[in-house]
Amino acid sequence: MQGAMAAPALAPVTRQVSSRAAPALVPSGPESVLPLAAAVAELPVLDASGRRVQFGTLFRERRAVVIFVRHFLCYICKEYVEDLAKIPKSFLQEANVALIVIGQSSYHHIEPFCKLTGYSHEIYVDPEREIYKRLGMKRGEEIASSGDNIHFIHRDRNRLDHKPINSVLQLVGVQHVDFTSRSSVIHV
């Protein structure tokens, strides 16, 4: 794909970012995962047609990056999702990873938000904010997970504290994405 070039493989990110001043190290190996509470996995989210889907089914059978945005009217979240829209589907397919955005809104807002941002990956809403409440989220959050396990969580400390997309993608083995809009020059 033109404009999106793979960067050299980087070592995996091994730190969990928390609201504490210093990030806590996440141990490597099987003990590095956190179980997803069954109560959260069973909570519903809604797709663009209003169909209820259990949150846990979105990633129980596959690896996924789940991005919780503050709300669809947040300009910073809109820009973040616009950048997520630039991730080629082929990059996600090669890494066998799903990219999922969860918003706090009515399902009626999904389609207009996707048109506005150009986002074509999976998107759902938690209109009652039940998942947000049970996970203790006040702002947005990025999660890398597989099965019922969470491998990485980044909780935004403020509206400008989104985790850089390429560092989240690196966690799940998705190749580096060039988010610049410059056209690439090919030397022949």
Residue by residue, DSSP assigns 29-73 as SGGG-EEPPHHHHTSEEE-TT--EEEGGGGTTTSEEEEEE-S-TT
What was the pLDDT predicted at 32? 45
Q: What is the pLDDT of residues 66-96, one digit of tens each?
A: 888 888 888 888 998 999 999 999 999 999 9
Give dist(CA 137, CA 105) in Å, integer.
15
For 81, phi then psi, to 5°, come to -70, -35
- pLDDT confidence tier of residue 4, bands split at 50, 70 and 90: very low
pTM > 0.75: yes or no: no
Comparing 113 with 40, the larger pLDDT belongs to 113
Comparing 31 with 169, the larger pLDDT belongs to 169
Give dist(CA 168, CA 152) in Å, integer.
9
Comparing 142 with 159, the larger pLDDT belongs to 159
Among residues 59, 65, 39, the alpha carbon closest in space to that of 171 is found at 65
Among residues 11, 22, 28, 45, the alpha carbon closest in space to that of 151 is found at 28
**Comparing 52-56, 92-96, 100-104, 131-135, which segment has the lowest mean pLDDT?**
131-135
Could you tell me how far CA 182 lies from the centroid of its own chain? 25
What was the pLDDT predicted at 16? 40
Q: What is the pLDDT of residues 27-68, one digit of tens each?
A: 333 334 455 666 688 899 999 999 999 998 998 888 888 888
Q: Where are the alpha helices (DSSP H) in the chain?
A: 38-41, 75-84, 89-95, 110-117, 130-134, 165-171
Residue with tokens 């491998």: 151
